[in-house]
Amino acid sequence: MRKAIAVMIVVLFISLTGCNQTENNTSAATKSTTEGGTSVQPTSEISTSIATTTVAPATTLREYTAEELSEMTVPKIIDIMGGEFRFDQSKGVIWYSDGGFYIYNDEKLPGFVFYIDEAQEDYQNLKNTEGENKANVQIRENLKSGKYQTISFIAMYDSAKLNDSISADMNYQQFIASYGYAPTGAIPPNERVGHILRYDKERIKTIQVYYNYSGTKHSSTEKEDDDEMNRVNPDIYAIVALPQELAIPEYNDSGSGKYDKYLGSWGNTGEIGRGYNVVIFSVEDNKIECSMSLSGSTGHIATVPKSTLFIEDNVAHFDYTDSWTNKGSGTLTFDGDTIILEADITERSSMGYGFMTVDQIELTKISDSTADAFM
């Protein structure tokens, strides 16, 4: 009886001990699995297998610069876009005042806009003759078939890059720090404040930088423009990269009043009525009204009648028939405190006198008077 009781006690002890060990093992397994990152499950549902998760590698979008893209053809640009693009003729136009045709894909080439002049001409003709819907279909087919090869110019918005150090999301101070000094003024045709700058690359000869600012257009001095831009520090609105060289304006004295100082009488001898003379009667922005004369040693005077000239890059071109019926052409170059006169007779009269060939005669101001003494 005592042996039976002893056996029952041993069995009961083993049962209790074994049960506790099982619970301890289960608890440890559950804790270990939880620390390993697997969600906690009821003990009866724990699996001995280890689940694995495959994570697809993130796709990195290739970042291009305008320098790279300017070397490419239209079909290559469309290929980078994956063959998918949108096109427009008016939205966001920078360079053209009357609209320009462009394509873009903000997913593949974010911030870049590609202008295609050939497509613009075809689109306008098709729209006028076939209607807008047919024009849209035909132009898309033309683009995908490779009819157009040449990018006319590239515009950059947002974070699109001109090169590795200049992008369209910069402000004025950041741009100047990267590019170097750049005079500021109003850029036609939209007169938005910015820069027109040389950019000596194979397919980019000029860049235009436009700012989100309508302040300084042309102030009286370059320094005043710089001070204002530094104070406001506007963000760039867009950068345009052009394949052709554009005239770089001189902003330091530009705009209304730049040529006012040339009003008056000019000559190469210090005396009106002798040698070569120019009288400038009026100045309005880059438009002047003037007349000219040559007083020869024999006393004969050839005159060019009063006419209106337009100054571009400090040079005014003119054609004339002088008072001795000679025909010719020439230029007036406005160079600081002097005017440089050049002229050449292209068709000489039989009279033998006239406003003869002039090779870079330097004229200085004689008087502020605009009285035409030689007419």
Give the model's confidence band at 252: pLDDT under 50 very low, under 70 low, under 90 confident, else very high. very low
Quote the pLDDT of residue 304. Answer: 78
Question: What CATH number does residue 357 fall under?
Answer: 2.40.128
Domain with 303 in it: 260-365
- Judge if 268 and 357 occupy the same domain: yes
Whether the model clears a pTM of 0.95, i.e. scores above it, the answer is: no
- Judge if 71 and 89 occupy the same domain: yes
Place of tokens 């404040």: 193
Quote the pLDDT of residue 10. Answer: 43
Quote the pLDDT of residue 226. Answer: 77
For 288-291, the CB contacts below 8 A with 24+ separation are 288/259, 288/262, 288/316, 290/332, 291/372, 291/375
Report the chain's mean pLDDT, rounded to a whole number: 76
- Residue 205 located in a structural domain: yes
pLDDT in tens, 19-50: 444 444 433 333 333 333 333 333 334 333 34
Give the model's confidence band at 260: pLDDT under 50 very low, under 70 low, under 90 confident, else very high. confident
Place of tokens 């950068």: 239
- Judge if 338 and 311 occupy the same domain: yes
**Is residue 292 within 8 Å of 284, Cβ to Cβ?**
no
- Judge if 225 and 308 occupy the same domain: no
Residue 3: its H or E element: helix 2-35
- For residue 169, count other CB atoms closer than 10 A to its CB: 14
Which of 161 and 321 is assigned the larger pLDDT? 161
Spatial distance between the Cα atoms of 26 and 304, rounded to a whole number of angstroms: 112
Choose among 141, 105, 136: nearest CA to 123: 136
**Is residue 93 within 8 Å of 237, Cβ to Cβ?**
no
- Judge if 266 and 236 occupy the same domain: no
- Token readout for 128 is 């006028």
Choose among 191, 199, 207: nearest CA to 155: 207
Reported as half-sphere exposure (CB side, CA atoms, 13 A), residue 326 has a value of 23
- Judge if 303 and 359 occupy the same domain: yes
